[in-house]
Structure formats: C-alpha cells, structure tokens
Chains A and B, each alone.
Chain A
C-alpha cells in the first residue's frame, strides 16, 4: 500500500517518544506507564489533566515531549493510531474471512432500506408511519380509548369520589382537604393527570417509538429531514425530541439530552417551549376551532411560521458552530417483542420517577397560590394584556391556568365558547396565543432542570412576550383586513 510509509515513520517516532514520556511518569495511574503515554500523545483531555495534577515537576517536560512529537509528525497522532488499528484489523479480517453470501432476506431488507431513504418513496412511507403509528395508535387508541377508560371510569367515577369522601371524613381542615382532593389537589390533579391522562398517551407512544427504534427506521428518518433541520440550526438527530414533543413537551425536553451540542439542546428546548403543541393541547384546540376549518388552517400556518422563524433566528443568533450531521445507518431488523416490552417498561418507570414529583409540585404551587389569593392578583394583572388582544376579561383566568396545564387553559376557553362569549376571531386569537404561551408548569420546571434557571426563566419570559405580541398583531391584522371567521 502506498500509505505504508507515514505509518512506519509514526511507529518509529511514537515508540521512541512513548518510552521517553513513560520514563518520566512517577505517579501511579492504575495503567502501565507506556499506556498512559499513549493516551497523552493522543491528546486525551482527561489523562492530560490527571498527569498535570500528579506530576507537578515533570509536567513541563512531558508536555514538551508531546508537543515535539506532534510537530515532527505531519498528522495528529490520534489519527495515525486509528489508521494503524484499522490496517491491522483489515489484515486480520482478510486472513480469516473467506467468503460472504447474501441471503434473500438481506436482499429484501436492502431494497426496503433504499425505498425508505429515497425522498420520492421515503416521504410517503413517513406519512404512512405517522398515520398508523402516531395518529391511529397513539392519538386514537392511547389518547382516546385508554384515557377515557382510565380518567372517566377509574378516576372520575370510582377513585376520586371515594377519596374525596374519605378526606372529607378524616381531614378536619378545609385547606388540607383542598390540598389533596380539591379541584387542583395532589390526587385530583397531580396524580390523576400523571396516571390517567399522560400515562396511557406515553405508554402507547413509547411502544410505537420502541418499534420504530428497533427496526432501525429512526436514523433513516433523521437523514431524510436533515436538510430541513439545518435551516433551523439543528440536525436530523433533533427529529426524535421534536416528534416526541407532539406527545408531551415535558418528556421531549428531557430527551433533548440526546443532542450532541449545547447549542442544539438550547434551540430544541426553545422550539418545544414555543411552537410545538403537546397532544393534550392539540386535542382541545381542534375541538375549539372545530366548526371553523379556516381557523384551523390559519392557526396551523401561524404556528408553523413561528416555528420556522424562531428556529431560523435562533440558528443565526445563538453562538456556536453549525452542527455536523453524521449517523450510522444500521440494517433494518424485525423487532423482538420481548425487547420492546422491556424497553417500554424501563422508560415508563424512568418517566414516572422524573415527572411525578413535578406534577405534585405543580399542585402544591396552585394550592398555595389560591390560598394566599396570589392568583386573584395575577388574574387581575393578566386582564390588561388580554384586553389588548381584543378578548373579554374572563379569558384571563384561562390564560393563568394555561400556564399550569396548557390544555386546561384551552379547556377554560372551551367553556367560554359554549357560553357564547367568544367570536370566531377571538377564538382564533386566543388559540394561537395559548399555543405559543408559556409552557405548562411541568415543562417550565423541566426547562430549569435541564438548561439551568437562567436559560429556563429567560425562555419562559420570551415565550410570554412573544405569544402576546403575535396575538396582538393577529387581532390587529384581522380587524384591519375586516376578516370575520
């Protein structure tokens, strides 16, 4: 091979320098000194730090040797070492592997994989998966049938009346009763919301997600959408948290941990907070605008435009290098049922441990707010911005509760709509504002937990002002153009 030469030169030089560096290492590292030296010449940051601490006298000399070796080689040592290993492995493989036969199944998998990653056939396949996996299984079965079963039949008809009765009997103080079984109590809101509303949705979602994951579809989806995500400062990898956000934004914010850089994690968190409505919210907003298909279209267009605009601006303004996209495309596999069950079970457990305390905390916060009449004050303050949007003052309550549970806020609007207090334009303005409005309290806490309190609080303040600004201009635009929905 023509590239044998630098390899040989590297071996001679590296062996020499490794010996010289190893001779200067005095402390105990738990490895042989020449292995420590090998890590040092590869620029292993952890080892460099450790040696600097443990060898204060010899450090300058050691660092000098490492730099000297790097200067004498044309290419970084880590790269040369990787090439050396690769060449050895190839030689070994060539000696031991004689022939490879491809089976009919493998051929079929290859064909299917081609169809999935070709944009012409890949996008229709994506829509089929979204329709069957997400809409029918998670949306209709999980969020529809199962939620109905658990919330209506288990909680509202059996558990809640029984617990309310018990607390009325055993808890003498009304404030304490309110805390556990009141309208926003720990059991009636926190536990019920986590178990009856979120649990079925996330269980079905995690099941569908595990199937997609185990077949190897997700990397193919990521590469299909990479170009689009580059425009908003993310890469194809971000598809996973953002799709998850359509189920539950709080959980999706947790999943942004899978993104490789801080910049990507920040942009994804911001987009989730601002422009990705969660499943519960989507349901109520669709029922709110049900009789006005034009309203739904305008709503969807505005949310999409905000998503793109915010992403585009963030990609321009957030400091950091534009991300690289690289991903191994694994073979397509038929998922193992047992694996999927184990994986889904583990995730639900993890989810519960992460999210349950937050829901309970949210209940506590609402309880304290109502008890101290802080809520009444906040509602009165919120009345002003709500009037600027051309909405009746009653909607202020819906907006405040929208912060604790976004779908609850939208639910409040639903009651106002039934009472005939809102016109078509007002419904649209309120729906848009509430979608962009502050994330629910669980997501707010998650933002702080994942991004630190500075970033978490600034994202919330930003979404607050941004949502009202968009609502204000939407109302103004509708009035100026004389549109009545």
Chain B
C-alpha cells in the first residue's frame, strides 16, 4: 500500500503495528507508515476485536507470525513446536527463534537461549521456567512463544 502522507510504498504486513501502544481494544484497521509514522486505513481490512485477536492474539510474538523483517528463521518445519506447547520435563532442542522486534531477540540472546541448545520446560504456571545447560530461566508467555523447539526422543 501507499502512504497518503509521504507517498512511501510499503508492504502492510511488514509495517510495525502501533496496536500495543494504543488503548483502543479493537483492531481499527489502520497501518502505520514505516517512513513517516502516519496512520492510514488499510482498505478492505477486517476490523473489530476478533480480527485484532487473530492478528495480535495470545501466544504470538509482537506483530504476529507472518510480519517480520528481523524474523530469524523459516516457518515451522516438521516436528517443530512452540515452547509453550511442549510437555513438561520433556527434553527438546531449540530449533529457531521467531522474533519480530530486535529488543526481544537481544533479550533471548542475553539469556543464551540459542538454536542447537538442549532445553527442558520445567513449569508453565505462573511463568514459564526452562532449564538450559546448568541455568534456569523464567520467561513470560510472550517470550516463550518466540522459542521453537524440536522434542528429543528419550534414550
């Protein structure tokens, strides 16, 4: 779509969403231009609470699964699952991190949660607790939903 203010052409799916900063609880059908920050109505877009939940609902990283410039890996492959759906105490390997914004990726990197590492989910409530190497970390649902894992078969 084209910004009506500065004329920049951009892909509405990859534009950063202003939703999370906004007190309106329904999806208003507007997109924010990455060039100038102007909010423009997206034609033919679905509006309302349900639409917002489908786009930015529980369990998805900020911006949803499709929208991403810094998305770190390809879509979920065979045998891959999101960490929040992993069984407790079942050993798994981190297969990818799917993160929309840079600061979240930096947080996971700072904890040392990176693809290829063995990870075990210890607890889901009230926060997700994972064992990686010799360390335990607590994560909230938003961050846990960015981590994709491949369950390992026990031998």
Contacts and interface: CB of A to CB of B under 8 A. Distances in A.
Bind each other:
yes
Interface of A: 1, 3, 43, 74-76, 78-79, 82-83, 86-87, 90, 113, 117-119, 219, 222-227, 230, 235-236, 316-317, 319-322, 324-329
Contact of A223 (B107, B114, B138, B142): B138
B126 interface: yes
B129 A226 contact: no
B137 A320 contact: no
Contacts of A90: 116-117
Interface stretch (B35-43, B44-52, B98-106): B98-106
Contact of A321 (B62, B107, B108, B140): B62
Contact of A76 (B70, B107, B140): B70
Given A223-B129, A324-B104, A230 B23 contact: no
B109 interface: yes
Contacts of A235: 140
Given A223-B138, A321-B20, A86 B72 contact: no
B81 to A, nearest CB: 17
Given A79-B72, A227-B126, A328-B138, 15 more contacts: A75-B70, A75-B72, A83-B114, A86-B112, A117-B123, A118-B123, A224-B126, A322-B20, A325-B127, A325-B139, A325-B140, A326-B139, A326-B140, A326-B143, A328-B111
B111 to A, nearest CB: 6
Determine the interface band of chain B, counting residues with CB < 8 A from chain A: 20 to 34
Nearest to A228: B126
Nearest to B107: A326
Interface in B81-117: 97, 102, 104-109, 111-112, 114-117
Contacts, number: 96
A226 B123 contact: no
B95 to A, nearest CB: 9
A117 to B, nearest CB: 6
A98 to B, nearest CB: 15
Nearest to B101: A321
Interface string B120-141: 0001011101000001111110
Contact of A324 (B117, B136, B142): B142
A82 B109 contact: yes
12 contacts: A3-B115, A76-B102, A90-B116, A219-B138, A223-B126, A227-B127, A316-B23, A321-B21, A324-B143, A326-B143, A328-B137, A329-B137
Nearest to B99: A79
B153 interface: no
B119 to A, nearest CB: 13
Given A76-B105, A321-B62, A83 B116 contact: yes
Given A3-B116, A82-B109, A325 B125 contact: no
B73 A75 contact: yes
